[in-house]
């Protein structure tokens, strides 16, 4: 699994590409302009940097480059989760969950969902 660190801005672009690819630089710009205020030059800079990181690639289209993700969403989420756990909780999931429970950051629905996830994981390991 290749390691690709994405900035918050790059996550926004990747989420667009994961939702629908390919997209042109102008399609990306127009979709994100209201939320971010980015110009086509800003998006172009992000796309170039993301290509260098190995997060995406482009193919020449009839009128414009077509951008495709090279990183799967699940892979990026796993990397981000592991980095967060390592950075904030020394890699300990229990410490993170304990903090969330103590701070009442988990709703009853969240806890029920977590319980189901753990039960399913336990059944798979049996």
Residue 103 lies inside a defined structural domain of this protein: no
Residue 16: count of CB within 10 angstroms of its CB: 17
* Strand, coil or helix: 90: coil
Residue 71: count of CB within 10 angstroms of its CB: 21
Residue 74 lies inside a defined structural domain of this protein: yes
Residue 102 lies inside a defined structural domain of this protein: no
pLDDT of residue 3: 84
**Structural domain count, the chain:** 1
Separation CA 74–CA 76 (nearest Å): 5
Residue 71 lies inside a defined structural domain of this protein: yes
pLDDT of residue 124: 86
- What's 54's DSSP letter? T
Looking at 4-92, list the stretches that DSSP marks H as alpha helix, in order from N- to C-terminal side: 8-19, 25-36, 40-53, 73-89
Residue 61 lies inside a defined structural domain of this protein: yes
CB of 67 closer than 8 Å to CB of 17 = yes
Residue 79 lies inside a defined structural domain of this protein: yes
pLDDT of residue 77: 94
CA dihedral (41, 6, 77, 87) in degrees, to 10, reads: -150
Q: Which domain holds residue 15?
A: 1-91
Residue 124 lies inside a defined structural domain of this protein: no
pLDDT of residue 2: 72
Average pLDDT across each block of 10 residues of the chain; the chain has 126 residues. List them in order. 88 98 98 97 98 96 96 94 93 89 87 91 83
Residue 41 lies inside a defined structural domain of this protein: yes
Domain harbouring 75, CATH code: 1.10.10.10
């Amino acid at each position: 699994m290749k390691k690709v660190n994405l900035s918050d801005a790059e996550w926004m672009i990747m989420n667009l590409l994961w939702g629908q690819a390919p997209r042109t630089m102008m399609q990306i710009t127009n979709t994100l302009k209201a939320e971010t205020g980015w110009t086509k030059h800003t998006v172009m800079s992000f796309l170039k940097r993301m290509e260098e990181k190995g997060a995406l690639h482009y193919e020449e289209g009839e009128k414009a480059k077509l951008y495709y993700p090279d990183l799967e969403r699940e892979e990026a989420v796993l990397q981000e989760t592991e980095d967060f756990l390592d950075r904030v909780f020394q890699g300990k999931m229990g410490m993170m969950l304990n903090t969330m429970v103590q701070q009442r950051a988990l709703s009853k629905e969240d806890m029920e969902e977590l319980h189901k996830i753990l039960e399913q994981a336990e059944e798979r390991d049996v």
